């Protein structure tokens, strides 16, 4: 009888540990550049990532070549070849720690800060990014908006397109996270 109780208890504890790690089920990143001569929008739904609530760590990444939209196929080509250099730097990522202590096992809305390394175009920048999390029925809905400076990530803007590309890009990240299955 004691053995059965221990097996049941260990199963329950392992299920609790699983609920501490969440993975992106459906994630999206959009960016927007508003320059004097042109507005550029693109997005991807290929955001991947995990969030470990117990350890307060996270890791997210996206394939740079997965962005769609733009104003023309040529603009997308320039994005991948000239600016992001997607063959050399295929992914962008953000990894780090959650600053605040949060208990997302309880339904509610939480505002927190994520501190880590934002790596774009092969250049890592230490960033603190505000994040909103809505916990409901074991799911987490995450949302964040911030700016990325092209200069900070060594992305050069040729003078010929200087009025068509903003030096600071508005980025929106969102997604649904569910407990990871181990």
Give the chain's domain count.
1
Q: Let me know if residue 34 belongs to a domain.
A: yes
Q: Is 157 among the domain residues?
A: yes
Q: Does the residue 130 lie in any domain?
A: yes
Task: Classify residue 2: in a domain, yes or no.
Answer: no
Token pair for 85: 């250099």
Tens-place pLDDT, residues 23-35: 997 899 999 988 8
CATH number at residue 109: 2.40.128.110
Could you read off the pLDDT of 101-155 as tens digits, one per residue? 888 878 999 999 999 999 999 999 999 999 999 999 889 999 999 999 999 998 8
Residue 33 belongs to what domain range?
21-179
pLDDT of residue 116: 96
- Evaluate whether residue 155 is within a structural domain: yes
Above pLDDT 90, what percent of the chain?
62
What's the mean per-residue pLDDT of the chain? Answer: 86
């Amino acid at each position: 009888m004691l053995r059965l109780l221990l097996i049941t208890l260990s199963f329950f504890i392992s299920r609790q540990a699983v609920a501490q790690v969440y993975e992106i089920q459906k994630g999206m990143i959009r960016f927007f550049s508003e320059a004097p001569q042109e507005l550029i929008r693109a997005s991807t739904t290929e955001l991947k990532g995990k969030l470990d609530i117990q350890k307060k760590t996270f890791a997210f990444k996206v394939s740079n070549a997965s962005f769609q939209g733009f104003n023309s196929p040529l603009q997308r080509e320039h994005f991948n070849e000239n600016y992001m250099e997607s063959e050399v730097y295929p992914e962008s990522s953000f990894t780090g720690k959650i600053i605040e202590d949060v208990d997302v096992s309880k339904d509610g809305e939480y505002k927190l800060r994520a501190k880590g390394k934002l790596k774009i175009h092969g250049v890592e920048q230490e960033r603190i990014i505000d994040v909103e999390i809505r916990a409901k029925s074991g799911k987490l809905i995450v949302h964040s908006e911030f700016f990325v400076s092209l200069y900070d990530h060594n992305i050069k803007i040729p003078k010929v397109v200087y009025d068509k590309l903003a030096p600071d890009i508005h980025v929106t990240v969102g997604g649904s996270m569910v407990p990871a299955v181990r």
